[in-house]
Amino acid sequence: MHPTTTVTVLVGAPGSGKSMVSRALVADGITVLSLDEARAIRGEHEGDQKATPAAFTYVARQAHENLAAGRSVAIDGTGARRHDRIRWLQLAREHGAPATVLLVWAPLDVCLARNATRPEHRQAPEHVVARMWHTIDELTDADLVAEGFSRVDRVTTAPGSADDGE
Ligand SMILES: Nc1ncnc2c1ncn2[C@@H]1O[C@H](COP(=O)(O)OP(=O)(O)O)[C@@H](O)[C@H]1O
Ligand SMILES: [Mg+2]
């Protein structure tokens, strides 16, 4: 028997620090599947929004393969849309794996500043960052548990906390 495999769904606005936080998950033996990387593979580059449907399909397939092999996965995407979270929940359910949310938060001005320092093709428009940030800000643990997640963990990535050893 495999030890319990889990599905961790990251939720956070662009620039909140999801991809940085997910590096710690890799160290725990979790396979991190990034929608940005999948956009680069299935589309033209990491910010290629036209490639989003193909990227979701690609990540879902990789998630299935990993879970079938007994490896826990984390989905590195904004997770702002309920529809997308439900997709990962269903995938987890198909494998009998509990799904948890890892909500990554930084102040909106920090998310915007980080977004603005990215290469242009990787930047999200400011209004998109702001809209997602507010959507995510309104999500309560109870909302996410009601969707079907078994646990919600929250992490803040404030400036200067990148190397505090946590
Ligand atoms: N805790 C932190 N402290 C300082 N800078 C951070 C921290 N977390 C992330 N960053 C920086 O912010 C930027 C965006 O982080 P990233 O993880 O790529 O965000 P996301 O994947 O949520 O869009 C990166 O340049 C990263 O180095
Ligand atoms: Mg990222």
User: CA-to-CA distance for 98 and 89, rounded, in angstroms?
Assistant: 8
To the question of domain 7-155 being in CATH 3.90.550.10, the answer is: no
Smallest-distance ligand from the CA of 34: 2
Mutate to test the pocket of ligand 1, among 18, 157, 163 (most ligand atoms within 8 A of CB): 157
Name residues whose C-beta falls within 8 Å of residue 13's C-beta, 6 or more positions apart in sequence.
78, 80, 106, 108, 111, 129, 132, 133, 136
Smallest-distance ligand from the CA of 107: 1
Average predicted confidence (pLDDT) for the chain: 94
Q: How many other CB atoms are there within 10 angstroms of residue 43's CB atom?
A: 18
Q: How many other CB atoms are there within 10 angstroms of residue 76's CB atom?
A: 25
Domain locations along the chain: 7-155
Mutate to test the pocket of ligand 1, among 114, 115, 118, 126 (most ligand atoms within 8 A of CB): 114
Helix (H) or strand (E) holding 155: strand 151-156
> How many CA atoms are closer than 13 Å to the CA of 50, on its beta-carbon side?
4
Average confidence (pLDDT) over 108-127: 96
pLDDT at 158: 80
At residue 20, the 3 state secondary structure works out as: helix
Tell whether the model's pLDDT for residue 34 goes beyond 70.
Answer: yes
Tell whether the model's pLDDT for residue 156 goes beyond 50.
Answer: yes
Name residues whose C-beta falls within 8 Å of residue 163's C-beta, 6 or more positions apart in sequence.
none
Average confidence (pLDDT) over 23-52: 95
| Residue 164: pLDDT band with limits 50, 70, 90 | very low
Q: What is the pLDDT of residues 49-85, one digit of tens each?
A: 999 999 999 999 999 999 999 999 999 999 999 999 9
pLDDT at 162: 53
| Residue 165: pLDDT band with limits 50, 70, 90 | very low
Average confidence (pLDDT) over 110-126: 96
Mutate to test the pocket of ligand 1, among 11, 20, 118 (most ligand atoms within 8 A of CB): 20
Contact 96, 123 (CB under 8 A): no
| Residue 160: pLDDT band with limits 50, 70, 90 | low
Name residues whose C-beta falls within 8 Å of residue 94's C-beta, 6 or more positions apart in sequence.
64
**Protein residue with its CA nearest to atom 6 in ligand 1:** 162
**Protein residue with its CA nearest to atom 15 in ligand 1:** 17
pLDDT at 136: 98
User: CA-to-CA distance for 131 and 137, rounded, in angstroms?
Assistant: 10
Q: What atom in ligand 1 is closest to the CA of residue 14?
A: 23
pLDDT at 3: 63
